[in-house]
Structure 1
């Protein structure tokens, strides 16, 4: 049974301030690419006995010290632990395809790499949002971009990822009118952050993007069911 507080001892708790502090501690402060083929493993409620694998794009160090795997998922480069949706996928763990080992936390060598890189690149904390880091795109990820009104969908290749000082991560897309040389590399002037121009940006693995390009009926039907309701709600 709780102890009643006297009127003079009542404490005002600013829940919004506490929420903002917790979010700030979970923001990403450093990225590292995944170069050894480690995967994210997830499960769908529709097939509870089946596990699915997806290659990790990279790892991210949060301000609270936690290291999380990152995958292009839905509308963002997403920490695996955030996958908690019965329909689209629930995170189970990480997997090494060579050994078939399943584990819950980031491997020690990635934790070591990120912690030391963050300590070396000690950026000043300012109110202005600045570019912290660029991560190469290594999986052929594509973005389905939708604009205002009835403008047609655009399917664009992702060329890299930018981490900003507020913890946000943006996909780098190419303005084809400004391409001067190929291959396109991070830092080229033709590249721009996806959400700076497009109202909605959805990410897909290369094989799904190729099915969309081929106008595979089943893929387009699933795409319409997934994307259009949310896109309409933003208008």
Structure 2
């Protein structure tokens, strides 16, 4: 197993992409602390290598306490996975300052200051940071100005952290997922005309949309010694969607 005994903090690890990340980390032997606003399910609660903590990551006063408690429960922190985030659609004409601030607080501020709080632990063993960005940090969908801005910010922050923390033996990389299947995405597709799923699959050269485990696979690689010479990179995991130039229909 690549990550036997590694101690990993994952924000937002209870469902969706976060759950795919947690499942793969556990399969590789890691011990995982999940930090999120809500509870985790029974399967995760009863897993012998899972710790679950509830926290509001939009609250700046929460970061130091969360990291300290995770380090106490796990005996340290080797890997930080900044996965928790928010996404909503709002036009430029309609978005409010409070909505903008919420998006920035969770998607951009929390990863930076959780990293800051975790630094003493990550320095101990030459740790790794994995940030979850998005292909919307590279391109954009309609009404996603705030979301795209925060994800592009995560990509830039990842490169800057790699530069600043390299001397401490800490690597920092990001993953930019494309369309990843979830309950919300399936509900969205169900509201579209017949053929929407086939059309969506056809956007991907691999012939399908992503699964949470696909992102988990990439996290396992970036958290492991197999990527020891990789830092400051944003790895796009999107089934080739952004590589595929559209043709006129």
The verdict on a shared fold, with TM-score over 0.5 as the criterion, is no
TM-score, normalisation: structure 1: 0.26
Relative contact order (alpha carbons < 8 A, sep ≥ 6): 1 or 2 greater?
2
Structure with the greater alpha carbon radius of gyration: 1
TM-score, normalisation: structure 2: 0.25
Structure with greater proportional strand content: 1
